[in-house]
Structures are given as structure tokens and as C-alpha cells.
Structure 1
């Protein structure tokens, strides 16, 4: 039964067309997948379906065919027409023109209340409250004891029962996203929207979340619209797929066929087989980081690592979640102090001990190390140009700042013309992949000597991934930068890195060319780190 119909939807931002003549029907209980590269309009369409006011279509209609209670205005999918509402009245059928200014605002709000959404890189949690409190808040009114048992069941469904008393801010990114999923299911939605819900997660956690979406959303008959750059997600979840390109539907239909056609347009990255390196720029000797936990005793996050990285080298550190790779990178940049061992970084002709605090010690080096966290963020109230210049205290004359910004955006895959058009846009006017590349440009514009990228391929569609691969190689050639890439994405590491270290249990097991490291992976690591 047809539930939602999009008719001739058009949308522009600042004169740029982001959606053009979109026509789609979504049946009740079905899953629509939206595929496309960064900037194709996927997130715009998701937010339009959500009812976010800034995404009101310029023209066209979004029609909801619903069952509505004439007394309390609760809405349900059309299959509920004729059934009794909780207030005692029978549901009546009605087609609601969602964005029409003549539509009753109460009806608009009733639909919005029945829509759940998971956004990329937006954990939407009460950071200072416990996991169980976050779930209970999503349930709203009701008997406390009954809600508590429902909340516990949901947390078991998403495998977070062991974290119910933990404060949300202390969870890992994957754990936070699972709590977000539980919160959204707790709202008992009639429509579930998911915009790259697993973009920031390692493959193992992402696959688990996909399976949870199947069991807790799709198999429960909840209508879902999902965007993702993972082909297997579309094949597993979607009943039909639309492929967006520059705001227009290129193809729509069977997920397998559309995915294959889309992937055929993805170019192969350029691989540099030979490169001239400088001398050592990072030296790590027997570095350790041990924690003490009441429950688990001594935790050896990093346990006796030796490592040397050369100037102009693109060095990868790979391993599954919990292997110690991120902790090692945090010690290198001075964000975490080691328990023992030595870390030195070369600055000019001097070797600086990164264990020593102060402006004359590691404080000298830190301005020359660029870091892009896995959970990066841009300044939401500044334009792209502002994020690239004054937001990071880069004091440049206005015209030169613009030229510098365009040059840097070009280095991360934007052509000059498009880079110029986004300079005055706010981050929320960009797609997720575009924001990711701007965040990398924000690091590169300061021209650091060492760049650390922590899980840089998190939210990227295949084309963006290739562009970022090429931009890293280009930045190394033009600026002589050294890159340290922390990743669980072995395919990306093979494409971009010169040498790679495999970490497991806080130790480095082997250092070599990426192809050699693949041979050292266990079957479980191959399954979770290779496409």
C-alpha cells in the first residue's frame, strides 16, 4: 500500500539546484535506499522527509497517506485505517500534503512525532546522563516500570546491556550510535530515516548495526529510508534504490542492478609506486600506556611499541577496534601521556621529546601537527571560508585567504568552480562527504609537517574516497607532508600508504608494505578490514 509519494520535488540553496523533479513512491513497510556521491542531494531529501523547516521544497509535494484519529490526531500507517486509536476513536484515512502551507500545523506536527531519524556523526544523546536514562527519555510518558523493562529489552537488542549505567559521554562512537538506534526505536516510529548511520563505525560494529536495523526496523514492518555508500547495505536492506546525481534521479529500481551500475562509475585511485623519502621525523621507543580498571585490572592499551616514520612517508597503522592504534596516535600528538617509553618528533634540526610539557618542549611541535579526529566537527555558524581561515586563527588578507581556501579545497577533490561556490555556505548546507573533505582541508590549510588522520574514510562514498586518496598523495608531493593514517579500512590503506604497521593487543606485530600486512591478517581481521 502506498504510504508516501514524492511528486515533482525541487529544491535550491543559494541559487544552486540540489533536488530536481524527484518522483518516488514508498510503500508501507518497504525500505527505500538512496545512493549517490557526496553532494548528490541524499541528506537534503532525508531532512525534507523529516520535516526540517530549512528543507521545505521550493515546489512539488510530499504526500502522506495515513490513518489519523479525528479526536487526538495520532497518525499511523494506512493499514491501520478503521482500527481503534488508544483514545477510543476509529482511525480514518487521509492524504496529508506535508509541506503545503494550508496543511493543519497540528497534522504536520503529528506526522513529525512519528518519524525517527539517525544522522551521520550526530549522536543526539544527553551526554551527562546514563544510557538507560537516555532510552527512558525517548519513551516519554507511561508507567515507569513498564518503560524500564522495554528500555532494557531495547538495550539488549542493540547489545548495550553491559553499559546501562555508563554516562553517555564516556561511550565509544560505535556504542553511542547503538544507543541512538535504541532511542529511535523506543519512539515507536511509523517512518525511520537513516542518513549514513554507520559512517563513523568500524566494519564489525557497522555490520552489527545493519543487522539490528534489519531485525528491529525492516522486519518489524516499519517503513524506512536509508542513505549509505556501502553497497552491501543497499543490497541487504533496500527493496528499491534510487541513484541521485546532482540532485536528479539517474536510475531507480532493483538494488543489485542500481548498485552495480553506480560502482561502475567509480574511478580507480592513482597509486604512486616510487617516492623519495627524507630522514626520520618520528621516533618511538618502547612506548607503553597502561590503565587500571577495577573490573579488568591492568589494561595494556599500548604495550611496548617501537616505530620510526620517515619524512614525506604515508604511514598506516591498522588493526581492529581496541588494538591500541588511536591511543598510540594520541600519545604522539601529546593528548595522552605515556606510562613509559620515549616519543620524539623532529622539528627543524631539533628532536623534541613529546613527553615533556610546555611551550619550549612539545608545545613547539603541536602547531606543526595536523589532526583530524574520527569524530571531527566544523564550526556550524561559520561559512566554509570561515572554517578554513579565521576559525583556525589563520590571519590572511581577504583575497589571499579566498585563493588559499580554493587551492586547499581543490587538493581534497573539489574543482575550482565548485570550491568557489561553497565558500560562503554553512556546513549544514553541504553533504556529509563534502563536510568530511572540508574538515581535511581545514587541517591541510595550515600546512603542517605531520598530518594524522584517524579513520579518514568513515562517511565517504566510493568516489569521495578515491578523491581523498588522491588528495593525500597530491598534498605529500606538493607540500612535502608526512602522513600517519589510523584505520581499520585495509583497502584504503593499500591504496594510499607506503608502509603499514599491524597492531593487535597493544603491540605492533609487523611493519611492511600494505600488501605484506594483508598476509598477516587473521581470518577474522580479513573479514572485518577488507571489502
Structure 2
């Protein structure tokens, strides 16, 4: 009996956006039907370029090399199935499915029905691109996908509810998508991808923006889909845990080339061996800069009634310190920060910010009250963005409000990029590029630089390492500490990245279900966080079983 052909063959693939400068070079691997393959690499290594080329995204047509799909196709309606179904009847029209070896990009360039048949059976979940309509309930977002793929009308509701149950979002089904936390949005998008009934599911950083508990839940769903539904999974990540958890085989990508291929644990070790040591340097500060007193934020929802997103929280952030706030998605972290920065109204309690010798009440709107503090505060939101039509340099210099020469603005842009640990060579390479031409990790560091270039007194970072690989994470640690000392800044950091919090913060606090659970030394806070996570995971597995 002859060996089954691989479902996907990538052969000597090279992509150049600029002639002679390959983003990826000579990439080759195979993926069999119903199996999983992981691609590990730091930000900018070429992972997303490779994924888009395999997806068939127009701008990512390979410069050289082949992407081949072995499939079973209906020559009447061009419905596509796995190669193992060759000889069976098409579920759409009843014709026989015929085995085909397809040069994917040759078909894509000709715009053939077969190329669209394959394209429509590939689902991709991008990092941070929450492809979800915010003004519609979560359940409707999933329903809409099922309608697009012509799922049987009478079964749409039950299928949509089952998919949300799989990603542990049943309790959010009727909520508007815009009101979800970042982790909840990512899980919603995953459910929408599964609704497409893909042959190939491409997960581009599937859990890079998620807290550890939510990441485990998403990983469990992915593993279950591969095992029970015969899904073929291609996962890219800069987090070794994600590749090890989700892949049967993996490779390490470095500067666009394969550095190593083999067993996921081996790939993980090779990647982590490259990470340098970060010295923990915690300092003690005593002078309050932000005082939060008995703070509450409540919402009303039709299905849950009054929701206490922030429930009687009190703490302070001290001048000069780096203060961290941790907790799983939905703990209330983002709502709290939005009140601190003046973006959301305080329900009860108070927030005071010290400006000079005065304490500014953030509950009082207007330029002579809250406005006196907000001009000294800058926030990098979890769902940040850069202007796509502006170069990296223009994105940075456009944030400068003070009048100064173009030459001095450019100097400040270079300084800001150095502060987030770009080398001069790297800056020269990316400064005139557009955001879409650089990696997600590089965009993230540029976004932090855009905050720092304004030289604020108080810097608030909401999930600053959400898309950063472990190497970039340590660079951000060094960047924050360097900026704190150089610019005399104070930092309030919201994150579920426990390693980052331990490495960068002087003090930390833990939130759970809207309440402040513990505050103090980052190691003790993280230990408490892990204990709670373990208890929640045990509950989750009990419910699942």
C-alpha cells in the first residue's frame, strides 16, 4: 500500500517584498491531513509572511517556490475535501470527488474555481486582528459566519451555541462584541473560524494576547478539534508553550530561514537558549502619585443585571515606581485603567492624581480639573493601532505636539526607538517603512515608542507584551526601566504576562472578579495568581469532563 500524500507541501518557498531582501527564504515542510505543525520564531522572523502565503493572500504571492495541496475536489461545483475522501460523493451536488495535486498559486493567479474552493476551506486567526463586528452580539457574529458558509438554516442556532460553548463563552453570547475583553474577543474569533468548517486552520499567534488561564482553554479547544474533528492545524507563535502544546512537529524560524526542525520540545529549548538573563532590580518608593479610593464601576446588562466590573478597589501608585496589575481576562483591569485615565466615568469612589503640589480629582471633567492631569498621562491600549498610511517615522513624529524642526523630531524618533531596544541598523531599515511592512512585534515596540516620544509623567501600558516573543519581552523590560530612569517617569502596567510583571515591576496587585485580592511584592502576588489559576483550571476540567 502506497504512503498517503501530505495534505500540504511547502517547497523551497521564498518571498521578497524588496528585490534581493527575502522576508522568508527556502522554506520547506509537509503537513498531513488531521495533524498539526508548529512554527516558532521571534517577532519579525517571517512567520506571518509564511502564513499569508499559505493562506493565499494576494500581496504574499511567493517570489519562488511552491505551495501544493493534495485534495479531493468536485469538478461540478468545485467543493473541496481532504484527499482521503477521493471517490466519495460531494455533499453539495452528489458528484464524485476526484483526487487532485494542486499548485495553489498557479490556480490563484488564474482565479480558477478550484483556487476559490481551496481558499474557502482555509481559516486563519490573526494575532490582534479581532475580526469581529463590535456592534453585534457575540452569538450573531458566529451565526453570520454560518449563514455565509450556507450551513443548514434550521441548525444554525444550535451550532452557534455549541461553538461558543466549546470556547467557554456561553455566558457572553448576548453581549455586544465591543464590550468583551481582549481574551474574550480572541476566543470569539476562534469560534467564528471553526464555524467556517475549515480543512486547514491557521492560528497566527492564537494565544499571544491571552492570560494563561484563557490560553490553556483555547489550546484545549484546538487540541480537541484536531483530535475529534480531524482538523489540520498550522500554528505560528513566538511563545514556545503554544507550539509545544499544539504541535506534533515544529520548526524554528530565524531571520526568514529554517534554523531547526523536529520535535516541539527540542525546538522550544533551542529558542529559549537564545534568551539573555534579566537582572531583577526592585526599588522601594514612598511618595503617592495616584490614589485610588473605594472605586466602583458598574454596568447593566439585560441578561446579567448589574455587573460590578470594579468592586470597592483601593490602592496607590507611587512616584517613580513601576506598578503592575495582573488578573485573567474579564477581571476588571481594563475598566479600572479607563477610569484612571479619564476615559470612563467613575460610578463610586475616587481617583486622585498628583500634579505639582495639587491633587487632581479625576471624577471632575474639564480642562481645569481632570484635564490638568491627563495631559501628563499617556496610555498604550491593548488594541493599539498605528496609522497604516504613514511611515514609521511619520507615526512617531506625528505624536509630537510641541513645535520643533523636522530634524529634531527625527532625532527624537530615533531616541524613542532606541528606548524600545531597536539598534541603529534596525531603525535605518524600518524607519521609512509602512506599518503593514513590519512584523506585529515590531509594530508593538513602535507603538510603545510613540507613547514615550511624548515624554509623559505617567505611562500606562495595557498588555504591553501581548504580541511580544520572550526575547522582545525582555527588551521591553529593559526599555521600561531605562525610560523610567532617563525620563523620570512612573509606570502603571496592566498585564497577564506573569514573567513580565516579575521582571519589570517594583510592586504588583492582583484583581479577580472586580476586586483587589492582594498587593505587594511581585513574586508573592504572582504565586497567589498561580494558585487561583490552578483552582480555576481544576474547576474547568471538572465541568468539561
In the TM superposition, what is the alpha-carbon distance from 1:167 to its structure 2 partner? Answer: 2.7
Between stretches 499-508 and 122-131, larger displacement belongs to 499-508
CA contact (8 A) 2:399 2:450 kept: no
Q: Which position in structure 1 is the counterpart of 2:332?
A: 324
Counterpart check, 1:471 vs 2:479: yes
Q: Which position in structure 2 is the counterpart of 1:137?
A: 144
Q: Which position in structure 2 is the counterpart of 1:244?
A: 253
CA contact (8 A) 2:35 2:226 kept: no
In the TM superposition, what is the alpha-carbon distance from 1:155 to its structure 2 partner? Answer: 2.4
Residue 166 of structure 1 aligns to a residue whose secondary structure is: coil
Deviation string, structure 1 residues 90-140 (Cα, Å, up to 9, x no partner) = 222222212237964222222111111101111212222233322222122
Q: Which position in structure 1 is the counterpart of 2:98?
A: 92
Q: Which position in structure 1 is the counterpart of 2:9?
A: 5
Select 1:170's aligned residue among 169, 179, 189. Answer: 179
Q: Which position in structure 2 is the counterpart of 1:216?
A: 225
TM-aligned CA distance change 1:371 to 1:149, over 3 Å? same
Residue 130 of structure 2 aligns to a residue whose secondary structure is: coil
Residue 105 of structure 2 aligns to a residue whose secondary structure is: coil
Q: Which position in structure 1 is the counterpart of 2:200?
A: 191
In the TM superposition, what is the alpha-carbon distance from 1:35 to its structure 2 partner? Answer: 0.1
TM-aligned CA distance change 1:112 to 1:328, over 3 Å? same
Deviation string, structure 1 residues 120-167 (Cα, Å, up to 9, x no partner) = 111212222233322222122254112333223222222333333333
CA contact (8 A) 2:399 2:454 kept: no
TM-aligned CA distance change 1:391 to 1:111, over 3 Å? farther
Counterpart check, 1:65 vs 2:70: yes
Select 1:108's aligned residue among 91, 96, 115. Answer: 115
Q: Which position in structure 1 is the counterpart of 2:467?
A: 459
Counterpart check, 1:128 vs 2:135: yes
| TM-score (norm: length of structure 2) | 0.91
CA contact (8 A) 1:218 1:237 kept: no
Q: Which position in structure 1 is the counterpart of 2:437?
A: 429
Deviation string, structure 1 residues 210-249 (Cα, Å, up to 9, x no partner) = 1111112454222211112332322222111110000000
Counterpart check, 1:22 vs 2:27: yes
TM-aligned CA distance change 1:148 to 1:267, over 3 Å? same
Residue 7 of structure 2 aligns to a residue whose secondary structure is: strand
Select 2:60's aligned residue among 55, 59, 73. Answer: 55
Q: Which position in structure 2 is the counterpart of 1:82?
A: 87
**How far apart in 2 are the matches of 1:102 and 1:151?**
31
In the TM superposition, what is the alpha-carbon distance from 1:391 to its structure 2 partner? Answer: 5.6
TM-aligned CA distance change 1:186 to 1:20, over 3 Å? same
In the TM superposition, what is the alpha-carbon distance from 1:526 to its structure 2 partner? Answer: 6.1
CA contact (8 A) 2:108 2:115 kept: no
**How far apart in 2 are the matches of 1:153 and 1:292?**
26
TM-aligned CA distance change 1:76 to 1:431, over 3 Å? same
Structure 1: gaps (5+ residues)? none
TM-aligned CA distance change 1:66 to 1:522, over 3 Å? closer
**How far apart in 2 are the matches of 1:292 and 1:163?**
14
TM-aligned CA distance change 1:318 to 1:179, over 3 Å? closer
Q: How many residues in Structure 1 have an aligned counterpart in Structure 2?
A: 528
Deviation string, structure 1 residues 454-481 (Cα, Å, up to 9, x no partner) = 1222222110111111111111111111
Equivalence map 1:463-502=2 (5 Å): 463-502=471-510
In the TM superposition, what is the alpha-carbon distance from 1:393 to its structure 2 partner? Answer: 5.1
Q: Which position in structure 2 is the counterpart of 1:441?
A: 449
Counterpart check, 1:33 vs 2:7: no
TM-aligned CA distance change 1:197 to 1:519, over 3 Å? closer
Equivalence map 1:367-378=2 (5 Å): 367-378=375-386
TM-aligned CA distance change 1:268 to 1:290, over 3 Å? same
RMSD: 2.4
In the TM superposition, what is the alpha-carbon distance from 1:359 to its structure 2 partner? Answer: 0.9
Between stretches 95-104 and 38-47, larger displacement belongs to 95-104
Structure 2: gaps (5+ residues)? 538-545
CA contact (8 A) 1:61 1:100 kept: no
Deviation string, structure 1 residues 365-411 (Cα, Å, up to 9, x no partner) = 21221101122222222221222122665654333222221221111
| TM-score (norm: length of structure 1) | 0.93
